[in-house]
Amino acid sequence: MTGSVSPEAAVEAPPGFTLHWRESVGSTMDEARALIESDPPTAQIVWAGEQMAGRGRLGRSWSSPPGNLYATTAIRNPRGAAEAPECSFIAVLAMRDAMIAVTGLPSEQVRLKWPNDILVNGAKAAGLLLEMGGPRNGWILIGSGVNITSHPPDTPYPATDLAGEGAPIKPGDLLGRYLFALSTRRETWRLQGFEPIRRDWMAAGPPLGAPVTIRADAAPVTGAFKGLDTRGGLLLECEGVTRKFDAGDVLAAPADRAVFGES
């Protein structure tokens, strides 16, 4: 473990990981990207108390006040660039595993929104961001933000935080559990491919047939959820035709909290 790590920030990382603690950074993603430019021998984790210029998917800014979890994990890409997006599903499942284990929340209350958001009682509590980087783009950077003590207001999708859901935890406890879960999920992927990851994501995602609205290239499209394809693409049945979406923004709808299990 490197960096000026305080006792409160100390986290046990799995073998092969090097953890760096920062009180404040512009972006953990940018810090991790700088670290892997030297092609280090171990995976690199940058964990910060706050971010001044955090970012999320689709170029959005990510509100990053103290008290929440902000971390980027940089790992070597074991496969080709075409399969790298599968890591976002691996990572979001690992974070969900960790959240359930640390908070004690029932698994049915912790669900997934395509492609890599985590909902608690139907509202977004965590999001992940995947980028490529390092020498010859041989690294995958997985940024993760979890709302623990606060959440931003006026978000495109309803948001919440773990404390507000009755599950206050320490960011370091969650990060440690996440890193071990990520190692386990990566090993499953290495040995068995994407199929078990796809199955587990679908088990934690919206029910089959649930209405899902996505904004991709044009106007929003609503269809019945038909699952994920073999590479993680979103499948929706729209007017009797199954359509695949490889990118887009799943939007909130009035029925979301009922769909994801909140009474």
Nearest CA to 11 among 120, 148, 170? 170
Pairing label, strands 110-113, 117-120 = antiparallel
CA distances from 56 to 27, 30, 139, 187, 193 (A): 11, 13, 19, 26, 27
Per-residue confidence (pLDDT) for residue 64, from 0 to 100: 73
Residue showing tokens 């078990």: 196
CB distance 73 to 142 below 8 Å: yes
User: HSE-up of 101 (CA within 13 Å, CB side)?
Assistant: 15
Q: What integer pLDDT is reported at residue 49 of this predicted model? A: 92
Strands 139-146 and 69-76: antiparallel
Q: Give the pLDDT means over successive 10-residue stretches in the chain (263 positions).
A: 49 92 92 95 95 60 79 88 87 98 97 96 95 90 96 88 96 96 95 96 96 88 96 95 93 50 31
Residue 203 exposed, middle or buried by CB count within 10 Å (0-12, 13-18, 19+): exposed
Q: Can you give the pLDDT at residue 143?
A: 96
Structural domains in the chain?
Answer: 2-203 (3.30.930.10), 207-253 (2.30.30.100)
CA 134 to CA 139: how far, in whole Å? 5
Q: According to the model, what pLDDT value does residue 254 have?
A: 44
Alpha carbon 47 to its chain centroid, in Å, reads 15
Phi, psi of 125 (to 5 degrees): -115, -15
